[in-house]
């Protein structure tokens, strides 16, 4: 096929990129990023580079600053030090309208799908196209249908969110996040609260998304199985700092006590609070 891109990096290129040998411009470049809530510092000199086509997984204990890092990468929070470049733009230099334009090239999927409960699955997926484009209804329908097919939700498009299983909710959230064909997708805790089969299915979809749509993906997850299924590289955070960034093999080979502990804990051990535990039992979404 003529449009078979030469631009999608091979795993080799990605790992050479990880060692600094690649030429392609990074899609994310955070340098010495510092962040505060009020007077309390929560990120300390965080460095993160994500290459085009790369799946980067961010791991770390609850409260270590993963979601805050996401907020910076999305331009939702101003850093107190360092710099953040996303898709080549220095976020601190962008005027509001430019930031808004940049955000349209980013997809964000939230933990529980964050769908509007009064809209059907299809209406939820079409919403960004109605809000951010002037496309006609037919085109919007075609674009949402493609993504719903991709996420294996085509037969369920008329259901309301309350009628969906946990796995379907996440797939619907993901369909909505990618309906505008973002270059960069952010996903906070995709498999939290899913049974192993649905979690594995979601992992497969994330890998398919990268190869079909050639997007770079940054994922926060605690599910170790999932981490090693999908990551090209992993960034381990601890107490607002990045402890280590490397390939899954490099992370597995780490002798850092904190990383060894993280890799040896039983699944779910530290993230399940009483609420999410109950939701797991009842199969209820948030």
Ligand X SMILES: Nc1ncnc2c1ncn2[C@@H]1O[C@H](COP(=O)(O)OP(=O)(O)O)[C@@H](O)[C@H]1O
Q: Which residues bind ligand X (CB under 6 A)?
A: 37, 42, 60, 62-68
Closest separation between CB of residue 62 and Mg ion, Å? 7
CB 74 to ligand X: min, Å? 13
63 binds, among ligand X, Mg ion, none (CB under 5 to 8 A by kind): ligand X
CA 112, 241, 186, 230 torsion: positive or negative?
negative
Contact predicate 113/161, CB 8 Å: yes
Which lies closer to ligand X via its Cβ, residue 3 or residue 273?
A: 273
By a kind-dependent CB cut-off of 5 to 8 A, residue 100 interacts, out of ligand X, Mg ion, none, with none
- Minimal distance, residue 220 CB to Mg ion, in Å: 6
With CB under 5 to 8 Å by kind, the binding choice for 41 among ligand X, Mg ion, none is none
Judged by beta carbon, residue 150 or residue 187, the one nearer Mg ion is: 187
| Residue nearest Mg ion by beta-carbon distance | 67
Closest CA to 199 of 95, 87, 280, 93: 280
Residue 250: is it exposed, middle or buried by C-beta count within 10 angstroms (0-12/13-18/19+)?
middle
Residue among 37 and 277 whose Cβ is closer to ligand X: 37
Q: What separation, in Å, do the N-terminal and C-terminal C-alpha atoms of the chain show?
A: 43
**Residue count of the chain:** 286
Verify binding: residue 276, Mg ion, rule CB under 5 A.
no
Structure tokens belonging to residue 11: 């795993």
Cα–Cα distance for residue pair 13/255, rounded to 1 Å:
26
Output 59 or 185, the one with its CB closest to ligand X. Answer: 59
CB closer to ligand X out of 42 and 127? 42
H/E segment holding residue 60? none
196 interacts with, out of ligand X, Mg ion, none, CB within 5 to 8 A per kind: none
Question: Does the footprint of Mg ion cover residue 67 (CB under 5 A)?
Answer: yes
The backbone region for 32, taken as left when phi is positive above 0, alpha when psi lies in -120 to 50, beta otherwise, is left
CB of 66 to Mg ion, least distance (A): 5
């Amino acid at each position: 096929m003529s449009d078979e891109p030469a631009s999608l990096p091979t795993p080799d290129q990605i790992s050479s990129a990880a060692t600094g040998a690649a030429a392609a411009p990074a899609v994310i470049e955070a340098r010495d990023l510092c962040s505060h809530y009020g007077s309390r510092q929560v990120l300390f000199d965080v460095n993160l580079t994500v290459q085009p086509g790369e799946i980067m997984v961010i791991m770390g204990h609850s409260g270590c600053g993963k979601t805050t890092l996401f907020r910076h990468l999305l331009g939702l929070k101003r850093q107190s030090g360092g710099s953040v470049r996303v898709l080549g733009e220095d976020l601190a230099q962008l005027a509001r309208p430019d930031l808004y334009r940049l955000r349209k090239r980013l997809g964000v999927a939230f933990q529980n799908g964050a769908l509007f409960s009064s809209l059907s699955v299809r209406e939820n997926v079409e919403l960004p196209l109605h809000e951010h484009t002037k496309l006609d209804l037919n085109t919007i329908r075609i674009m949402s249908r493609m993504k719903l097919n991709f996420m294996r939700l085509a037969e369920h498009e008329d259901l309301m969110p309350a009628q969906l299983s946990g796995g379907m909710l996440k797939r619907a959230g993901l369909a909505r996040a990618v309906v505008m064909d973002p270059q960069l997708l952010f996903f906070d805790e995709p498999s939290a609260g899913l049974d192993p089969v649905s979690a594995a299915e979601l992992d497969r979809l994330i890998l398919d998304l990268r190869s079909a749509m050639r997007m770079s993906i940054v994922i926060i997850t605690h599910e170790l199985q999932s981490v090693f299924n999908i990551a090209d590289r992993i960034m381990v955070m601890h107490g607002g700092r990045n402890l280590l960034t490397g390939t899954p093999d490099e992370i597995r080979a780490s002798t850092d006590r904190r990383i060894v502990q993280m890799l040896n804990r039983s699944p779910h051990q530290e993230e399940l609070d009483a609420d999410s535990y109950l939701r797991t039992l009842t199969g209820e979404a948030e």
